[in-house]
Structure 1
């Protein structure tokens, strides 16, 4: 972890290290700030506790790793809801996409507070909730995805046309006279891809623009 602050790096090198994990979920109107155990810590001027009186406690964090791969990073956060009302609010489709931050830090044994701002190991957004029912047991597991997940969203319906362009930027008429734009893709034949071929719906007018 080369991005650790000097104070935190020094604390980790000490003989006695008290680590903690913290999770912040920015629900509308009520951000959840939870620790991975009992107690309370002030982080960045905000109070993090082992139990949120409205939503419950943090149960598990799975999938954390420090690596580079071909997949968008994901993890699973387990929560034990405080009530059925809390569970209902947590699975509301309106909270999908809320930001999630996962941090680890070190507690100063003398003051009982973090030695520095915690190290942020993951930033993502709530994706899919799964409810696990059991005898006298109710747990909620939330799949949390990184912002890189948005690169995989299907952009159906997007067109290089004036109508769609103005649906995003009303009154912007830069595409009013740009029609029938085509890009020729090589498929089983030798095609010069150093240029982009375009055509106009105006008879007798055809232009070729060099690719820059």
Structure 2
């Protein structure tokens, strides 16, 4: 018995809906498969078989420690100047290399003798600020060569050069002439000012 037209139309509509749903699922499944295959292919391209992961770079080696350090010892020491010391030296070693602390030092203001030195450091020993120490300074225009030569920090030959300068050009007007006229470096002149003074004769 033939189905009524209305019933046939309902069946056709249901079949179309079912086919439409089945088709979408297959399309979705196919698309998902393509995406999975594409991802696997991309991973294989970026990680070919047998390739090893990169090895970490070795840390750079530390530079070797210097064999010696250069230290400038100034102030109230017997022989101010530059000294090469071992890297583990202490301030006391630097002072000993400079001949030790002079009698003009201020014992209450010494640096930490146990601290370590390093390359380029200056170790300064303060001078005493008492009036007696100032009065004990030698007159550069009257001191004898042996007196000048005994001054702490006096470079070899400078005492004789001072005497010859006085004999040739007359008395010193300022201790700065040790630098400008005799070529003594500024650090040495600064140290000598604690032991020398200029006394000019009255006109």
Fold agreement, TM-score > 0.5:
no
Task: Specify the structure having the higher radius of gyration (Cα).
Answer: 2
Larger helix proportion of the pair: 2
Normalised to the residue count of structure 2, the TM-score between the two structures is: 0.22
Larger strand proportion of the pair: 1
